[in-house]
Structure formats: structure tokens, C-alpha cells
Amino acid sequence: MAKITDAVDPGNAGGSVLIPEIPTEPNRPVNFRCNKCGKVFTDREARRQHVFDQHPFKRPQLLIGSRMVKERGEVIASPFPPADWVMQQAERIVIDQQDVSSRQACRRLSQLTSGFHEVTLTSADYSVTYHIEFDIPTEAQLAKVERAFNTLIVNQPLESDRIAQFITVAKQEDGARYYLEGVSDFLYGVLAKDQRGGTSLGHDDYSAKYHAAREALRFLNRPLANLIKALVNFNDNAFNEAEALAPGGQVAIACRVLNGLRSGKHCPAPETRVASGHNLPVDTLTAETMRFCSLPLAEQQEQLPQLVHLASKRLTTDYDRVKIQALAMNTCWEAGDQELAAGWAKKLRHSPIFEALATRIIEDVENE
């Protein structure tokens, strides 16, 4: 084999320096070893699939009932018994820097009523720390919020100044903090959605206020709190969740009717008018939609044009518009005007909520 020489004079009297030949070796196979069990694989994907199948990642979790607790920003505003606290995949549990058993942890968490607390769950693979605030009101604190609500909000014109007064009075009487926040957020959302009552909020701000109210009240099992959560779900067209929380009266009727339409069923109108059944201020479109659902069929036919007119208003949301269209479709069908019902159904044929019933009505009319 020929030697490789350096063509550049290195400076030793014109001589050349031989560069030593570099030995060559065949390529070694690349192996991928599992860090868990040491098994060797010939490609990276095979090792990844092996780890996924044989060594699943075990991340500890803290749950209340079936709901996962957030690592930060979690607020517990309602008491839970020890059985509702669940810790999964945790080999070690530390509460406020104190090691406890699983049973001790559940009992201690059920007894906390105030303050900020840390819960750290550790598994073989991972450690998670939860920063939880406990602010569980007494029955007296809950009652103070409801008393202020009944005095200042019920049967009164809803205005921003009145809501601010309600907040001030409830705070002065040491009312339940998150109960107060949830109720007031909902009331501010009503004003934002209707753009009335001296609100400084924009129309689009109503949704954030509604959802903040539902979040603040999610653990409270009080009639007023449940009604607000039902109305927020109704606003979001989550009719099944709304029906589960709704009390009697127009709220329950409207949830049942629209939940039935969502599931593909025709819903006959009530034989007689149904009263409101609550004294919570609500936005105009929600109030009109619920009232319409509570009317006998003859009155629904009479008042359908007014309801449909609301669907064309500038402030009408897509959530409300699709509800009105579904009610118009159902009313026309129940009244025997199948052609007009099919016309409304064509507006809903691509609706993810009412598509099933709309498609069936269109097919029934076309096949006749």
C-alpha cells in the first residue's frame, strides 16, 4: 500500500515526513440499553416502546373524589371527609414537612379549615408538591352572604353600585369569602352580558366572570351556589351538567327540554305555565329562553317570533343563538308545521349539539 507523504516542506533540509497510516476498524453496532432493566435493543424506537410497555411512568396524584387537585392555586372552600381524599402512586407522603401515612394524610386533610399547606407525594420515579389553600367557611359565614344577597339583590334593579354594596356589607359581616366572590362574579357577568346597570365591563367579559363564579362555587353545595353553577353550564350549553344542578321551576324545565333535544328527542311543551322558581337575576337571553320553555305550546307558537328576533341581536352569543334555533325547530315540529321545522333543522345540521335531531327531521320531511 502506498504511503501518504506530506507535500509541504517541514523545514529539515527539504526532506519529507511520513504520516503514519491510521488503522481502520469495522463499524461497531449501536445498542440502546434500558436504564430500568438493562435490556439491550438495536434501535431507539424499540427501547422507547419497551419502556412504555414494561416500565410505565408512575407519577403520584392527589385527588378529591374523582377530581385531580391542581399543584398550585388550589383552594378548598368546602369540607370533605377522609374517604374523599385519594392519593395514587405515592410511596411517601409529607404534609407541611411531616411524614404521614396514607390514612393519616386523609384524616388530616379532612380536618384542615384555613391557611396554606404543602402536600408532597413521592413515588420511585417522581415527586409532586401541591400548594393548597384551605378556606372553609362556617355555616354562620355562609348565611351572612345569603342574608346580604336577599336584602340587597333580590327584587332590586341589578346595578354595579348595588353589587359593590352587597360585597361591602358581606365583607363587613365576615361573610364566606369564596361564596361572596362566586355570587358577585356571576352578577357582574349578568351586567356584562346585557351591557346594562352601569357596568364598565365589555360584553365579552361576561364569559370570564361566569366561569370565575363557577370555579369559586364548585365545592359549595348550597341552593344559591348550585343555581349559579347550573345557569353557567346552561349558558355554555352543557345541559346535562346544568340539569343535574338545577332546582325546580323554569331552570329545570329549560335544562330538561334542551338536554332532550341534544340527545335527539322531541320535547312536548308543558300543559300549563311554569313559574320561575328562583329570585336570582339572570341575563335577558337566558331569562327569555327559560321562560319560553315553560310556556304551553299555543303560547310558544305565539311568542316564537319575538324569541327568534332576539337571535338576530348584536349582543346575542352563538351559545344563545343555537338554543333559540333548536327551540324554534322543536316548537314548529310539535305544532305540526314540519316544513318550517325542517327549515330550522337545516340551520342546525352541522351543530355538534343538535345535529342528530336536526338530521332526522330533515330526513323525515324529505322522505314523506
Tens digits of per-residue pLDDT, 262-287?
988 888 888 888 887 788 999 999 99
Q: Is the pLDDT reported for residue 18 higher than 70? A: no
Average pLDDT over residues 61-87: 90
Strands 40-41 and 61-64: unpaired
CB-side neighbour CA atoms (13 Å) of 136:
15
The pLDDT confidence band at residue 25, using thresholds 50, 70 and 90, is low
Alpha helix (H) residue ranges in the chain: 44-54, 102-111, 139-152, 160-172, 177-194, 205-217, 223-235, 239-245, 250-262, 284-293, 297-311, 318-334, 338-347, 355-367
pLDDT (tens digit per residue) in 113-160: 999 999 999 988 789 999 999 999 999 999 999 999 999 999 999 999
Nearest to 223 by CA among 292, 156, 154: 154
pLDDT (tens digit per residue) in 288-322: 999 999 999 999 999 999 999 988 888 899 999 99
Nearest to 183 by CA among 166, 165, 197, 203: 166
Q: In angstroms, what CA-CA distances link 141 with 31, 99, 112, 138, 167?
A: 66, 33, 17, 5, 13
Q: In angstroms, what CA-CA distances link 346 with 313, 353, 355?
A: 21, 14, 9
pLDDT (tens digit per residue) in 203-257: 999 999 999 999 999 888 899 999 999 999 999 999 989 988 987 788 889 999 9
Q: Is the pLDDT reported for residue 11 higher than 70? A: no
Average pLDDT over residues 52-62: 80
pLDDT (tens digit per residue) in 113-122: 999 999 999 9
* pLDDT value of position 26: 64
Share of the chain above pLDDT 70, in %: 92
What are the two backbone dihedrals, phi and then psi, of residue 114, each rounded to the nearest 5 degrees? -155, 165
pTM here? 0.77
> What nine digits make up the cell of 172?
363587613
* pLDDT value of position 34: 84
Q: Spell out a b/e string for 242-270, using b for 16 or more CB atoms within 10 Å of the CB, else e.
A: bbebbeebbbbbbbbbbbbbbeeeebebe
- Using CA atoms, how far apart are residues 107 and 92, in angstroms rounded to an integer? 16
Quick one: 15 exposed, middle or buried, by C-beta within 10 A (0-12, 13-18, 19+)? Answer: exposed
Residue with cell 341581536: 313
* pLDDT value of position 7: 52
- Using CA atoms, how far apart are residues 17 and 86, in angstroms rounded to an integer? 77
